Amino acid sequence: MQTRLKILYQLQLIDDQLDELEELRGDLPNTVNTLKFQINELREEIKKKEKEKEDSLERRQLNEEEIEKLKESQKKFKAQLYQVRNNKEYDALTKEIDHTEETIKRLEAENDALADKSKTLSAEIEEIIPKVEELEKELKEKEADLKEIIKANEKEENKLLEERKKVEAQVKKPDLSVYTRIRKAKKGKAVVTIKRSACSGCHNIIPSQRQLEIRRNDKIFTCEYCGRILVSQEIAEEVEKSK
């Protein structure tokens, strides 16, 4: 059991050092990810607006073609007016002429609206582009800062990760599962010592009888207040001396 406790504490010490290296990066990783997300969203917005512009242009071209056909038909109808033989034929032709005129006006009005929409979309795209460029510049700077920090601690981090891998392989699966769960819930600290009769994780006093039981090092105990794994000072000192 002492070995199990020592390995768990050793794993915690390695994770503490890795957490410290992570803290040196500050909020840069989150900032980089946020900037990437914002840039992608704006690019998608530009793409969407450009597609709307393209669809608008295609619709205008189709309308122009239809207007030309209607104008040709209108010319034919007007020419036929001189050849009508009765009022019925005349009324039918004038009805067709009026209908084509209304359709032409409707399509022209639609094209005017589509043209206005294209101008608006172009203006919106022009407004977004500088924002993307500004965010890309900021992203480049933040990525460079992050890369510099990572590079500065790369050797130490790789060494710790290799060491962690070896230690983790020695941890029993149930112990590792509990350790991982507590570490996630308690923001990194899963294994703590008793200092001045209190849990060094939450600083609540540990009853004297429980302290005696923990010092026997024959069982895994957790703090009844914060749920962290408790190890005796003797275990902690042995592990720290062996490093």
pLDDT digits (tens, 9 = 90+) for 73-132: 999 999 999 888 899 999 999 999 999 999 999 999 999 999 999 999 999 999 999 999
- Reported pTM: 0.68
| Cα separation, 26 vs 15, whole angstroms | 17
What's the DSSP call for residue 204?
P
Question: What is the fold, at CATH topology level, of the domain defined by 2-25+155-242?
Answer: Helix Hairpins (1.10.287)
Which stretches does DSSP call E strand in the chain?
Answer: 191-195, 198-199, 221-222, 229-231
| Number of other CB atoms surrounding residue 229 within 10 Å | 22
pLDDT at 82: 86
Summarised one tens digit per residue, pLDDT across range 172-216 is: 999 999 999 999 999 899 999 999 999 999 999 999 999 999 999
Look up the CATH architecture of domain 28-153. Orthogonal Bundle (1.10)
The reported pLDDT for the residue numbered 128 is 97
**Average confidence (pLDDT) over 226-238:** 95
When pLDDT is averaged across residues 166-176 and rounded to a whole number, the result is 95
In tens, the pLDDT along 136-165 reads: 999 999 999 999 999 999 999 999 999 999
Q: In whole angstroms, what is the distance from residue 26 CA to residue 160 CA? A: 19
How much of the chain is in helix, strand and coil states, percent to nearest 5? 80, 5, 15
Q: Where are the domains of the chain?
A: 2-25+155-242, 28-153
Question: Matching CATH topology for 2-25+155-242 and 28-153?
Answer: yes
